Chains A and B, each alone.
Chain A
Amino acid sequence: MLPFLLRRLLHALAVVALAATVTFALLHLAPGDPIAATLERPEVSEAVRDAWRRQYGLDRPVLEQYLRWLAGIGRGELGWSFTQQRPVGAVLAESLPRTLLLVGTALTLAFGAGVVVGAVAAWRPRAWVPRALLAAAVALRATPEFAIGLALVSVFAVRLALLPAGGVSDPLLETLGTPGERLADRARHLVLPALALALGWTAIVARHQRAALRAVADDDFVRTARAKGASGRRVLLRHALRPALAPTLTLLGLALPTLAGGALITEAVFAWPGMGLVAAQAVGARDYALVTGAVVVGSAAVAAGSLIADLLVALVDPRAGRPR
């Protein structure tokens, strides 16, 4: 178990190091350097620019700059966001938890609903409800998350006016409401964006869960359980479900980078001020430090998520952690 954990932890660290390396390479391949932006200002003399380059270490060999960059990330120094006039770390420390809340809620919903739908579909292949749900799942899987979000907004926020169309909270309640009201208000703001992500992801989980359950349905231990007279429900819940969870969790862990990408785009639909919205705004303003910081921190968050998925797999299926 411990070597397995250690290996996965090293993998997660290597992902972050690679993300840092790729962003460094892109920064250096791009035309100009951070100081070149001042070329449009005639009052800045070439001598001043050289002094700035020396000050920021831009005159050092590339290898040294690269190692300094890695060391800075290791210390948690991600640079200065000139659009927000504060450290990139502070900006991301504010937006990352919002993204995590959104993605975490959506993943929990999707996993719970997907496992149930998949299990019913595998156990009662002729029942029409799971069949209809799986058919709908095919269409949902083909629809980008942000498009599902737009559809939800137009129905539930615009036409029915049941739920807020965007933001994390109501500014009025945020200052004047009681703690209970504020919590309820935040939950109401979370419903539509979380649903937009969860609908498509549920479809993915349900498909994999059904396939995984079918794969174990013919296994000896399931047949034994049936042969000794256990009821269908008991066989499903006590014997078949647990080993079938592991492949679904593994696939979800592998899909996490893609799912996170979809979530970042969906934030724009709901004006949800998480990493995606912040990064997209930084792209518009060409705030390099903020965008590169978002890549490093985003990759780290995804790597941590994959690590958690691996841990859950090992928890569900102890064979996963055993040395091969």
Chain B
Amino acid sequence: MTAAGAVSRRTPRAAPAFPRRLLLPLATLAVLAAAAALAPALAPHDPARQLDLVALQNRPPSAPHPLGTDPYSRDVLSRALHAARVSLGVGALAALVSALVGGTWGVLAGVARPAVDGAMMRLVDLALGIPRVLVLLVVVALWGAVAPPTLALLLGATGWLGTSRLVRAQVIAVRERDYVVAARALGASPRRVLARHLAPHALATLAVAGTSSFADVVALEAGLSYLGVGVRPPVASWGSMIQDGAPFLAHAWWTAAVPIACVVVTVLAASALGDRLGELLDPRARRR
């Protein structure tokens, strides 16, 4: 009786339904990604074309220009759609780079000898104390303007520290579990244990860390481009659109408000997704 009850209670858990809490953030990100991918088809105007510098400068939203025009008479909706490709692309590439570097560093530290592990993590602790914005400023000062792909690599290369800590903690938590010990006892090589038994667990952690580093990078890219050291003209990102619109806040607030809203929605969706994924994967949260 009790055994049957236990089994029947366990059955629904074996095939979990898609967690509904992830639906809204995932759908939001999917819409944003689709808008970016289809930007050339969706945009009513050429994003870089100055339509009419005299008559169409800083016009409020209207039927032909649903989100208004910017200080150079360009269509804000078209620009926001095309900028989404740059902002989201930089964010995704940077998140991928930091997941790769941070994941590798974290897994290696997790399986390394204590002395090596200690040294690797001490270095991460120290590097976390240096403000990332300042390091990025030095790189831009030394190498000059950077193209968006390079910017993404830089953001990824400076953003993997937190990821490596999470992954290492996960690997260490899993390393001594019974099934890993059993695999080792059955004669699995260290490489096989790493690839078959440890790395898959790190992947879930990587997904959580990757989503939140995506949110960080989208916000940071906007800040750097606003400062004028990130994405530069003629390429537009949400950050550089904010930079274009900021001097005209008094009479054309929409030119800055539209890209700001895009950044906020993206960051909200990505960080909600990261938080909720983390709660789902955290065994303490699952018990409730």
Residues of chain A having any CB pair with chain B under 8 Å: 11-12, 14-15, 18-19, 22-23, 26-27, 30-31, 138-139, 141-144, 146-147, 150-151, 153-154, 158-159, 254, 257-258, 260-262, 264-265, 268-269, 276, 279-280, 282-284, 286-288, 291-292, 294-295, 298-299, 302-303, 306
Contact = CB atoms under 8 A, between A and B. Distances in A.
Nearest to B216: A258
B264 interface: yes
B12 to A, nearest CB: 29
Contacts of B137: 279-280, 283, 291, 294-295
Given A143-B263, A283-B229, A295-B137, 8 more contacts: A30-B142, A141-B271, A142-B267, A144-B222, A147-B264, A265-B227, A284-B228, A295-B138
B206 to A, nearest CB: 20
Contact of A257 (B129, B223, B227): B129
A113 B55 CA distance: 47
Main secondary structure of the interface of A (DSSP, over half): helix
Nearest to B215: A142
Most buried by A among B133, B141, B215: B141
Contacts of A299: 129-131, 134
Contact of B141 (A153, A265, A288): A288
A261 B228 contact: no
Contact of A258 (B126, B132, B226, B246): B132
Contact of B253 (A154, A262, A268): A154
Nearest to B268: A142
Given A15-B130, A158-B250, A261-B131, A147 B263 contact: yes
Nearest to B229: A283
Interface of B: 123, 125-135, 137-144, 215, 219-220, 222-224, 226-229, 242, 246, 249-250, 253, 256, 260, 263-264, 267-268, 271
B130 A146 contact: no
Given A257-B128, A286-B141, A288-B142, A143 B134 contact: no
B173 to A, nearest CB: 20
A265 B126 contact: no
B242 to A, nearest CB: 7
A265 B119 CA distance: 33
A142 B114 CA distance: 38
Given A264-B131, A265-B133, A143 B138 contact: no
B131 A302 contact: yes
B263 A280 contact: no
B264 A143 contact: yes
Given A142-B271, A158-B249, A291-B138, A261 B229 contact: no
Contact of B226 (A11, A146, A279, A302): A146
Contacts of A141: 271
B131 A139 contact: no
Contacts of B143: 30-31
Nearest to A292: B138
B131 A298 contact: yes
| 10 nearest A-B pairs in the assembled complex, by CB-CB distance | A261-B133, A15-B129, A30-B142, A265-B223, A142-B267, A154-B249, A142-B268, A283-B141, A291-B141, A295-B134
B120 to A, nearest CB: 14
Contacts of B246: 150, 269
Contacts of B140: 283
A30 B242 CA distance: 30
13 contacts: A15-B130, A141-B271, A150-B256, A150-B260, A258-B131, A261-B133, A261-B220, A265-B226, A279-B137, A280-B137, A283-B140, A291-B141, A299-B129
